[in-house]
Amino acid sequence: MIVHRDPRWFPALFWTFLALAAAFAVWRTAVVDWTVWYGPVAWLIELFGVLTSVCFMLTLRRAASAEPRTVPEVVSTVDILIPTANEPPLVLEPTVIGAVRVRGVRNVLVLDDGDRPEVREMAARHGARYVARTTNEGAKAGNLNNGLRFTDAEFVVTLDADHIPLPEFIERTIGYFDDPRVGFVQSPQSFYNQESFTYRRGGWHEQGMFYGGIQPTKNYTNSAIYTGTSAILRRAALDSTDGFAPDTPTEDIHTSLRIHARGWRSVYLREPLAYGLEVENLREYYRTRRRWAAGSLRLLFRHPDSPLRVRGLTGWQRLNYFSAMITHLQGPMRVLYLLAPLAALITGVAPVTGPYSRYGFAFLAFTVVSVWIVVLFGRGHYHLLHSEAFAVADTVPMISALKAIAGNERKFGVTVKRTDRASSTGLKNIYRLYALANLAVLTLAVVRLAQGEHVAIAAWAGAFVALSTGYAFAFLISMERYERAPGAPWYASLTPEQLYAAVVARPLVTA
């Protein structure tokens, strides 16, 4: 691995932040007002923020890149697995075309949960093997495990049904398996429909921080996460875990956790080797983020493989997985964060003892420092507006996913591809209601200031809520503009063969 060279003052800044976080947590605990119900609630929210910030910073501390290891000739046996459930042939066929043209591949297996004649015919036409099953037990992981029964290859590549691989995929990844301890090599999820609302001007992508800023840091601690597609895995590593993990909706992170717990190493290669379809409307964005949150929370709190108790992980791996999963509790914390200042504005009683202005200054200062640190250690991938706007937007699916902690959340919802831009009015109204709730609290703070009532509480509560209000409306406004944008996407009229050729030839901005 090539360790990234950060400025010399990064370590000093890192340890200074940890010291400030510890001091703030101790001081904040000392000033809790236990006489009002929202005093402990506000304290819990802020300590959760300190915890997630510290975990995040610990995982971002050092970044490393995999040294290039392109091989001129592939001598190992490699098969490609393409699981599909209900994706139309128009989405699936370009992926099959790309897979059979990957240099060094032995067989391409189209794994169909739908047992569809048209998919069988399409696979045969392109020289791929068609494998169907009559049940969808275990969802995507179950489909992949069924596919493993039909291959004895040393390595398998997994591709989502909409991810078109580049011809050099295997050549660029197989060399890392010279190390017999490497269990999988993951490349970033990249997308060819960059007119999706998850992109912003200049090529910024909603997942850019994860694939460009976070995954490279996981190379340093052998904690890179398998993300379900655009990856190549050693069959022996999969056999050691009894295949792909079928018992949580997020089979990808669950599978990589099991592989790491068995002592295998991982490599994150920051080079796009396949391009897929990003979600095209708010409904599919919500469904995808809800599934991520539900699967992560279930794995963290209810499964024996939880990083809190599973055996075999190193301390750094345990921390990395814990940090990735606990972040999905930020949604309910944001709602509580809204209720606490509202209660203080109504009652005129602060959630802390002592001067509220002192508390407000300390909290705001720590928040500003935390954000500044994340921007620096995000190494150019964290955006002050866009990153936070999408974080606020994730509040709705994260709250919906809470029942995964209390109940069984195994159902896997397949993201629908090639949809229109508009989403259901009901879902948009939920997002609008959340934005209006923030605006209502902000308005109450302004009214209190104008009336000269509870001035200190109103000033600081208004300052806190103003940010989340701005981020919520920024997301909604960009969504409305996206839905009303005229014209069809650039790939709408292309045949599968033309789309494959365009994706392979087209220069794309990636993480």
Q: Are strands 107-112 and 182-186 parallel, antiparallel or unpaired?
A: unpaired
CB count, 10 Å around CB of 466?
A: 16
Known active-site residue 113: yes
Rounded distance between C-alpha atoms, residue 228 and residue 186, angstroms: 9
The label of the residue with tokens 């999969």 reads 238
DSSP assignment of 53-120 equals: HHHHHHHHS--EEPPP---SS--S-EEEEEEESS--HHHHHHHHHHHHTSTT--EEEEEESS--HHHH
Q: Please choose, from the candidates 292, 208, 289, 311, the residue with its C-alpha nearest in 3D space to the C-alpha of residue 253.
A: 292
Report the DSSP pairing between strands 107-112 and 129-132.
parallel
CA-wise closest residue to 230 among 204, 264, 191: 191
Q: Are the C-beta atoms of residues 457 and 39 closer than 8 Å to each other?
A: no
Which of 33, 252, 305, 394 is flagged as catalytic? 252
Instruction: Say if residues 384 and 474 touch (Cβ distance below 8 Å).
Output: no
Contact (CB, 8 A) for 109 and 81: yes
What is the DSSP code string of 465-503? HHHHHHHHHHHHHHHHHHHH--S--TTTT--HHHHHHHH
What φ, ψ does residue 495 adopt, rounded to 5°? -75, 165
Q: How many CB atoms lie within 10 A of CB 439?
A: 17
Distance separating alpha carbons of residues 15 and 58, to the nearest angstrom: 10
Tell me if residue 252 is catalytic: yes
Catalytic annotation, pick one of 33, 79, 113, 160: 113
Backbone angles phi, psi at 154, to 5 degrees: -70, -30
* Euclidean distance between CA atoms 412 and 396, whole angstroms: 19
List, in order, residues 6 or more apart from 326 with CB less than 8 Å away: 51, 52, 55, 300
Q: Estimate the share of the chain in helix, then strand, then coil, as percent rounded to the nearest 5.
A: 55, 10, 35
Q: Which residue has the tokens 């831009």?
A: 421
How far apart are alpha carbons 341 and 503 in whole angstroms?
A: 49
| Type of residue found at 69 | R
Concatenate the DSSP letters of all residues of 361-387 into one string: HHHHHHHHHHHHHHHHHTTT---TTHH
DSSP state, residue 407: S
- Distance between the two ends of the chain, CA-based, in angstroms? 19
* Residue positions annotated with a catalytic role: 113, 252
